[in-house]
Chains A and B, each alone.
Chain A
Amino acid sequence: MTRFNTNQWLALVLALVAAAYLAMAWQIPNFPLPRPVDSDLFPKVLGISLLLLAVCLFFEKPSAVAGADEVDESSHGPLLLTPWARVVVTAIAVAAYALLLVPLGFVLASTLLCFGLTAYYGYRRHGVSLATSLGIVLALYITMTRVMDVYLPTGVLPF
């Protein structure tokens, strides 16, 4: 059995996306008054274009991606400290930040995220990290809320 290359896998995923997109485009309701171009035409053109491009990608020979070789694939040390684990943990931390921003407040949530991730990435001078994180977050908070009149959640803190 022939094995697919990266481009072919990507093409298959994109073709599936295009098919789903086209299915949704065909469900866009018609405008009650007749008009030369309705809301569904452009999405249909886009879906078909993506499908055709996916076919082209399927037959395109994959070339080396500039910079891809720079990805650190080494898996020395604990699993949680591998490069991919760092990406996953950061993504989870960002999602948690989004969910905790309102209940905890901007200052607390942002300082925790900044300090926590800095420590996780391997910076060991925790005092410097905490002072910098808190200083920058507070400066941002004051600029946004006092100077630019942009509301940021206060959360558990009184200000």
Chain B
Amino acid sequence: MDAFNNLMYGFGIALEPMNIAYVFAGVFAGTIIGMLPGLGPISALALMIPITFAMEPSSGLILMAGVYYGAIFGGSTSSILLNAPGVAGTVATSFDGYPLAKQGLAGKALAIAAYSSFVGGTISIVFLMLVAPLLSKVAVSFGPAEYFALMVLGLTAVVSLSDKSLVKGLIAAVIGVMISIIGIDLQTGTERFTFGSAHLLDGIDFLVVALGIFALAEVFYMLLRGGGGKEAPRNAIGSLKLSRSEVKQIAGPVSRSSVLGFFTGVLPGAGATIGSFLGYSMEKRIAKDGDTFGKGNIKGVAAPEAANNAACTGSFVPLLTLGVPGSGTTAVLLGALLVMGVTPGPMMLEQRPDVFWGVIASMYIGNIFLLVLNLPLIPLIAKILDLPRPLLLSLILIFCMVGVYGMSFSIFDLLLLLGFGLLGLGMRLFGFPAAPLILALILGNIMEESMRRALQISGGDWMTFIDKPISLSLLLIALLSLALPLLKKRRKKVM
């Protein structure tokens, strides 16, 4: 009953006319950005930060949640229409979505993606509503040692689950933390790594890094791939209607994948990509017509779509209850919240119930908007894919720069943005994952602060991280998360 009352309170906030407008704008903008190959939810969210800066935190987060959902859905659209997933979380959708589009059933595939996303999102929101308050009650008892261990786990999980080299992932994470501690140390007032520059005293704004590493680096990468003069052929969309038997066929996969996706999303590091692949492979294994997966089976679109949306919601659990993001995307969201003056964590439910429940209610509304307004608009929105690539690349550059300059009014930051864009390109070319860097950048300061507070309390005794059972277990899991991929690699070699 309590949850119901709280949700009603949240609806009161989310249904304010301005907030409804923000949800719609967010979902719409997210769909467009997510649809553009290469630009995923992280870039979409980073581009939105300057807009949310002056907003009420609840409205800002409502807009961001809409963008997040929209970007995932937009990614599915380009997966289905172009076989060019805009987001890693929608790669699995293209396995059956694109073959369906080639058969002239793109509209059907898009409708299945939208309905499945809606159901996945809705089921997972119910879970979020139930799980989040419980988890935040547990998290209230966390001290600095536990927080430090939790953040170490968050980082190692993201590193170990990326498909790139473990060592390179860890290097990216260390560099992220290194960037985060540039500036004045708030505990002692000591300058660190500022090179005597007054511009660096306040540290490097995470927006500069996020836009550089993701959006600007993506522009450079697209230029390297040939400037994008070559447009992929686009299939006609066709009817968006589903028959009753088709709805029946996808009902089971959608509900199973929604639950699976949610719990995958809650785990640090997992998120939409793994959720969608798990959903897809689970259904392929269960289905009687599993051999038709990959050739245009509608269940092959429904399962990953339900799972990736559910995982998106699931990833809000650690962010809102522990204040620790489990992925690059939620790390950007955390950064946006901090910019707005809201610190997520176990106390957020008590201190900022408007933000917490407002966001949950807006997720419901965002899902409905995605279905009712976005789906019929898809043929229109898909025209964005016809925008000439050269013009698109130039516009992304302008958006990045106005985003940075509008926040800091600093030419120095624009030059830093360029530097991070080139760093992002280098990382991409040499196989360094970007998500650990951005997560570490957000967590670095809090991690150091937790570590120092824990050591201050223990009088400098490092055993404090091992003496406490929760902290010890979290550190052990972190160690395990790094060891498992190594063992797997070794076993593969032996075989």
- Known interface pairs A31-B190, A95-B418; A46-B174 also in contact (CB < 8 Å): yes
Q: Nearest Cβ in chain A — how far from B401, in angstroms?
A: 7
Q: In chain A between 85 and 114, which residues have their CB closer than 8 angstroms to a CB of chain B?
A: 86-87, 90-91, 94-95, 97-99, 101-102, 106, 110, 113-114
Q: Residues of A at under 8 Å CB distance from B?
A: 6, 10, 14, 21, 24, 28-29, 31, 35-39, 41-43, 46, 49-50, 53-54, 56-57, 60, 63, 65-68, 70-72, 83-84, 86-87, 90-91, 94-95, 97-99, 101-102, 106, 110, 113-115, 117-118, 121-123, 125, 129, 132-133, 136-137, 140, 144, 148-152
- Known interface pairs A46-B178, A101-B405; A121-B227 also in contact (CB < 8 Å): yes
Binary contact track B382-416/A, C-beta < 8 Å → 1, others 0: 00000011110111011101100110010100110
Count how many chain B residues have C-beta atoms less than 8 Å from C-beta atoms of the other chain: 67
B429 near A68: Cβ-Cβ < 8 Å: yes
B333 within 8 A of A: no
A6 near B394: Cβ-Cβ < 8 Å: no
Q: In chain B between 137 and 186, which residues have their CB closer than 8 angstroms to a CB of chain A?
A: 163-165, 167-168, 170-171, 174-175, 177-178, 181, 185
B411 near A102: Cβ-Cβ < 8 Å: yes
**Can you name 11 A-B pairs with beta carbons within 8 Å?**
A24-B193, A43-B193, A66-B164, A71-B225, A83-B225, A83-B226, A86-B227, A87-B224, A148-B51, A149-B54, A150-B406
Separation of A50 and B456 alpha carbons in the complex (Å): 25
- Give the residue name and chain of the B residue nearest to A89 (CB): B223
- Give the residue name and chain of the B residue nearest to A57 (CB): B167
B190 near A29: Cβ-Cβ < 8 Å: yes
Chain B residues whose C-beta falls within 8 Å of the C-beta of A150 in the assembled complex: 50, 54, 406
Residues of A contacting B: mostly: helix
Separation of A23 and B27 alpha carbons in the complex (Å): 48
Q: Which of B65-73, B105-113, B447-455 contacts A (4 or more CB under 8 A)?
A: B447-455
- Give the residue name and chain of the B residue nearest to A32 (CB): B188
Chain B residues whose C-beta falls within 8 Å of the C-beta of A144 in the assembled complex: 402, 406
Instruction: Identify B219's interface contact among A31, A90, A110, CB under 8 A.
Output: A90
